[in-house]
Chain A
Amino acid sequence: MTTTTASADTGERTVRKNSPGAARSPRRTGRIRRIGLPYLLLLPALLLELLVHLVPMVIGIVMSFKELTQFYIRDWGTAPWSGFDNYKVSLDFNAPVGDALLHSFLVTVGFTLLSVGLCWLIGTAAAVFMQDTFRGRGLLRALFLVPYALPVYAAVITWVFMFQHDNGLVNHVLHDQLHLTDKPSFWLIGDNSFVALLVVSVWKGWPFAFLIVMAGLQNIPKELYEAAALDGAGMLQQIRRITLPSLRPVNQVLILVLFLWTFNDFNTPYVLFGKAAPEAADLISVHIYQASFVTWNFGTGSAMSVLLLLFLLVVTGVYLLLTSRGRKTADV
């Protein structure tokens, strides 16, 4: 933090001092020094960025071109280069590995769309309802944020207990008390696991949407609503014509962030299902983990990770392009 502000400062100073004409040779080294200084001060931050972000990514990409199996992990240098073999294996959808990856990808897309949609819907609805002041609003707001504040592991392991077949709370309520099912259902294995995963994901994700939309709502001027009310607009009309358009920039970021988080989520499925997720809830992050760590083939795992990275980059790029273009025309 401090280094960047300092460099910005000196940057201005150099520009100001340089503008009046100056003598040559001694000044020249002085000039290099002055121009160089901001970059010098940026260097630690730059190196840290390299170390923390870029180096691991580059190593991951390099790994994806190697045949990094158990025979080579002790000394990576000896692992033979495999060209695009890992990618070919991952993308050959007629063969089992590629087919499983595609299945996992489709499950993840479906899951992400549903989860983000529900998170946004619940979060926005709650934020809109909580806009008016009433007794106990602060308490409710705090309560709503609890799932977001809880450590993931503690929260999800509680869900695991609740979803248990024999002694779980969910089956106790649905089957024993409400008699909605003929027999207790399995939530952690088989097809229902998708529902279980979705419930936990939405439960965990919507408070964030709530928080962000709530913040966005604070910026909408009260006068707009008053004017609309005078013109005879009802509650729904106000939401449709004022609230949602005003929230547009907030939503743009919110949806993107929720999408990336949900698509990449590893903790929730891993704690819920363990190493081998049921097919119906085989999210891509756990699938890649399984493909690399459990089968000890880190090359293929890396290739799948790179593919995932590319996909998310493309989606993010297209999304930002589309939404910002739409906004420009709306502004005009």
Chain B
Amino acid sequence: MRSIRAAAVGAVTMSLALAASACGGGSSTGGGSNDSPKTLTYWASNQGASIEVDKKVLQPELDKFEKQTGIKVKLEVVPWSDLLNRILTATTSGQGPDVLNIGNTWSASLQATGALLPWDAKNFEKIGGKDRFVDSALGSTGAEGKDPAAVPLYSMAYALYYNKQIFADAGIAKPPVTWDELIADGKKISAKGKSVLGAEGSNLSENIHHVFVFGKQHGADFFTPDGKADFTSDGVVAAVKQYVDLMAKDKVIPTGNAEYAQNQSVSDFAKGKQAMLLWQSAAANLKSQGMSEDQYGIAPVPVQSGTPGTGNQVNSMVAGINLAVFKNSHNLDGATKFVKFMTSDEEQKVLNTAYSSIPPVKAAQEDSAFTSPSNAVLKDTLAKSASALPQVADESQFETAVGTAVKELFADAAAGRPVTTESVKAKLQKAQQQMPTK
């Protein structure tokens, strides 16, 4: 009898414990606070050649921060393939990091969820004011007319990386400045048995970055001024077709690249198999793969005609990483201090040098570390001929829908099926139908 009573007591205790833990799950939703002022969790995006490289770059800086403020920062470097999902999960559950890196193109989408701390004038004041940052970088921090959802951390731009040796062997004197020149050079390079231009045909974000720029060059936008998806205009169709035609018609992108999604095209370039690469701030990545800086040249991405500029002569997106504070943080003051630290002139120099990116902070940009010829090209592009991706709430869905359409078109091209204006338009039509309707 006693054992039965003990079992009954055990059963009741366990049930209560279960019920309590079940209810406990959702207790920490709601606003932020300053309950735990001594620790911070920081999700960093993968900027270096590997996650290990990132830890080596960031940990000494975090130690510095701890020494200055007494706040211990717990670092987690999240791979790109997981980052957006992790942020969405954190948003849904309310359990997330205190400070996190986001791809700057996601700013408006994440802003719409309300999960990130808005950077109003008061918050900006805490980190030294909004005017410390470069305008083009601020243009990619959220929807227009709203307080930014994040502050710029690293700025990057696309450039044309070319292998000097292959160019010399093919008798090409200078890098191409127009697409026609690139295609003509491609014939000479193919004749020497090298592949011409790399692309990541199955990487949805890469596809988007390129067709967005081609769109600009055709005077077309993927969204109407009031934020509606508009993927089937003649300009957009022509832009997407021109990009896919680099494989389908002009044969400068090898068909095998249609299934690339893990930066294989960067490896191909670093190994000397391929003459050109369109990439954002690739120097550190190439170095880690054993390609020294004197082996390649860096030039602005080609445009339809003449020199890069605004309007039809845009030749890069405003690429970059923003730093955001999670609204549910239990250490809002500490988080703000950390953002101030990371965007300080000194840290900006250290971090952007390590990642071969450009500081979005004006004072840091002036530093001699960022005046090398390769950085000059990137800085010039950002200042004069880069355009921010649409800052609309549906941006993330747009990347998926249109990115998939381009991936499928590349698959068609690789299989030798014709890529026509009609087939491009049909795919874009399908992509547009997948967008949320409001």
Please report A residues at the B interface, Cβ cutoff 8 Å: 3, 6, 10, 37, 40-41, 43-44, 47-48, 51, 55, 69-71, 73-76, 95-97, 100, 164-166, 184, 186, 188-191, 274-276, 278-279, 290, 293-297
Contacts and interface: CB of A to CB of B under 8 A. Distances in A.
A314 B274 CA distance: 55
Contacts of A69: 436
B19 interface: yes
Given A189-B258, A293-B85, A40 B8 contact: yes
A275 B201 CA distance: 14
B403 interface: yes
B29 to A, nearest CB: 7
A44 B258 contact: no
B88 interface: yes
A44 B115 contact: no
Contact of B397 (A48, A184, A294): A294
B411 A70 contact: no
A164 B201 CA distance: 14
B46 to A, nearest CB: 17
A191 B91 CA distance: 37
B412 to A, nearest CB: 8
A105 B195 CA distance: 40
Contacts of B115: 74
5 contacts: A55-B22, A73-B92, A95-B433, A189-B202, A295-B434
B354 to A, nearest CB: 29
Contacts of A293: 85, 88
Contact of A70 (B4, B8, B112): B112
A189 B414 contact: yes
A101 B88 CA distance: 24
A257 B402 CA distance: 37
B88 A296 contact: yes
Given A73-B113, A96-B430, A44 B400 contact: no
A304 B430 CA distance: 19
Nearest to B407: A276
A69 B414 CA distance: 36
B320 interface: no
B79 interface: no
Contacts of A43: 11-12, 15
A107 B415 CA distance: 21
A47 B15 contact: yes
B51 interface: no
Contacts of B15: 43-44, 47
A40 B259 contact: no
B398 to A, nearest CB: 10
A75 B22 CA distance: 18
B58 interface: no
B434 A189 contact: no
A3 B112 CA distance: 49
Interface residue tally on B, bucketed by range: 35 or more
B393 A70 contact: yes
B109 interface: yes
Contacts of B410: 189
B94 interface: yes
A278 B19 CA distance: 44
Interface in B95-124: 109, 112-115
A96 B434 contact: yes
Nearest to A95: B433
B219 interface: no
Contacts of A100: 434
B134 to A, nearest CB: 28
Contacts of B256: 165-166, 184
Contacts of A75: 29, 114
Nearest to A33: B8
B8 A279 contact: no
B113 A74 contact: yes
A196 to B, nearest CB: 11
Interface in B379-438: 393, 396-397, 400-401, 403-404, 407-408, 410-412, 414-415, 430, 433-434, 436
A97 B88 contact: no
Nearest to A72: B113
Contacts of A41: 7-8, 11
B120 to A, nearest CB: 19
Contact of B259 (A37, A51, A70, A164): A164
Contacts of B401: 295
A182 to B, nearest CB: 10
Given A40-B12, A278-B408, A74 B91 contact: yes
Contacts of B11: 3, 40-41, 43-44
Contacts of B255: 165
A184 B115 CA distance: 47
A73 B258 CA distance: 35
Given A165-B414, A189-B407, 4 more contacts: A71-B112, A71-B393, A275-B400, A276-B407
B29 A96 contact: no
Contact of B92 (A74, A186, A276): A74
Nearest to A290: B400
B113 A10 contact: no
Contacts of B53: none
B172 interface: no
A10 B4 contact: yes
Nearest to B26: A76
B184 interface: no
Contacts of A290: 400
Given A47-B19, A70-B393, A275-B400, A186 B258 contact: yes
B397 A296 contact: yes
B112 A186 contact: no
A276 B430 CA distance: 14
A190 B410 CA distance: 9
Given A74-B94, A276-B403, A296-B88, A186 B411 contact: yes
A274 B18 contact: no
A164 B12 CA distance: 57
A5 to B, nearest CB: 11
